[in-house]
């Protein structure tokens, strides 16, 4: 990841953060746009979760990783504290690999 990409992401992020305080007296975001932003973020997160759980390069990542992520998903849906969710994902995947499931 080149430095320029990090700077670009930092600049874009700071821009979004700064825009609110700068514009607060002049702008109101249409609710539909707010919803679309939120939906776009959800779509990206789930797509990233799915592809990084299931694939490595262009191929299937094996069963251990998606199994760990699935357990994490179930725990998160049950409102388990975040640290437990993250540790569970790693632990399930590690144990499966230890048991010979890859």
Residues contacting residue 102 through CB under 8 Å, at least 6 positions apart: 62, 63, 64, 96
Residue 8 sits in the site that holds other proteins (CB under 8 A): yes
Residue 29 makes contact with other proteins by CB under 8 A: yes
Q: What are phi and psi of 56, to 5 degrees?
A: -130, 115
Which DSSP symbol is given to 56? E
CA 30 to chain centre: 26
101 binds other proteins (CB under 8 A): no
Q: Establish if 12 lies at the interface with other proteins (CB under 8 A).
A: yes
Does residue 40 bind other proteins (CB under 8 A)? yes
CB of 60 to other proteins, least distance (A): 9
Cα–Cα distance list, 16 to 22, 74, 83, 86 (Å): 10, 32, 28, 28
Shortest CB 27 distance to other proteins, Å: 8
Site for other proteins in 52-91 (CB under 8 A): 52-59, 61, 64-65, 68-69, 72-73, 76-77, 79-83, 85-91
């Amino acid at each position: 990841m080149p430095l320029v990409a990090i700077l670009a992401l930092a600049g874009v992020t700071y821009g979004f953060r700064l825009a609110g305080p700068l514009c607060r007296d002049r702008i109101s975001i249409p609710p539909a746009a707010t919803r679309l932003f939120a939906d776009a973020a959800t779509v990206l997160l789930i797509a990233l979760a799915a592809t990084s759980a299931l694939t490595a390069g262009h191929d299937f990542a094996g069963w251990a990783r998606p199994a760990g992520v699935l357990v994490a998903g179930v725990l998160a849906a049950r409102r388990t504290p975040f640290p437990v969710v993250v540790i569970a994902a790693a632990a399930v995947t590690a144990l499966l690999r230890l048991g010979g499931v890859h």
